Amino acid sequence: MTIFQRIIDREIPADIVYEDDLSLAFRDINGQAPTHILIIPKQAIPSLAESTDEDTPLLGHLLMVARKVAVQLQLTNGYRTVINSGRDGGQSVNHLHVHLLGGRPLGWPPG
């Protein structure tokens, strides 16, 4: 079981900013920008690499939640969405999640 499953199960606290039947969004504990939100599916998919064609609606849903949370948190100057996958992608929690970053200009390319 991952730490994100424990957040879904309310076993450990999180600063939740959005929730619906399919997903949960909360503040990253080690924010890399003034606003840094993680959007996760309640259904535990380990990574984007391990998702399947059947997950297409759920993956789309996560991006729509990112858009709604960006509006809710007033990221009017723009924002970035990131999905790290696997070791080289820098994924550290094996429960698929979308990072939503904003509140400052973000550099490109990422490291």
Distance from C-alpha of 88 to C-alpha of 28, rounded to nearest angstrom:
21
Kindly state the smallest distance separating residue 9's Cβ from ligand AMP, in Å. 13
Distance from C-alpha of 15 to C-alpha of 1, rounded to nearest angstrom:
20
Confirm if 102 and 34 have CB atoms less than 8 A apart. yes
Q: In the complex with ligand AMP, which residue's Cβ is closer, 76 or 92?
A: 92
Kindly state the smallest distance separating residue 8's Cβ from ligand AMP, in Å. 12
| Alpha helix (H) residue ranges in 9-106 | 56-72, 86-89
Kindly state the smallest distance separating residue 26's Cβ from ligand AMP, in Å. 6
Question: Which token pair is 41?
Answer: 């599916």
| 97 counts as catalytic | yes
Binding site for ligand AMP (CB under 6 A): 3, 14, 28-30, 38, 84, 90-93
CA nearest neighbour of 60 among 9, 22, 28: 22
Q: In the complex with ligand AMP, which residue's Cβ is closer, 25 or 70?
A: 25
Q: In the complex with ligand AMP, which residue's Cβ is closer, 70 or 84?
A: 84
Q: Active-site residue numbers? A: 97
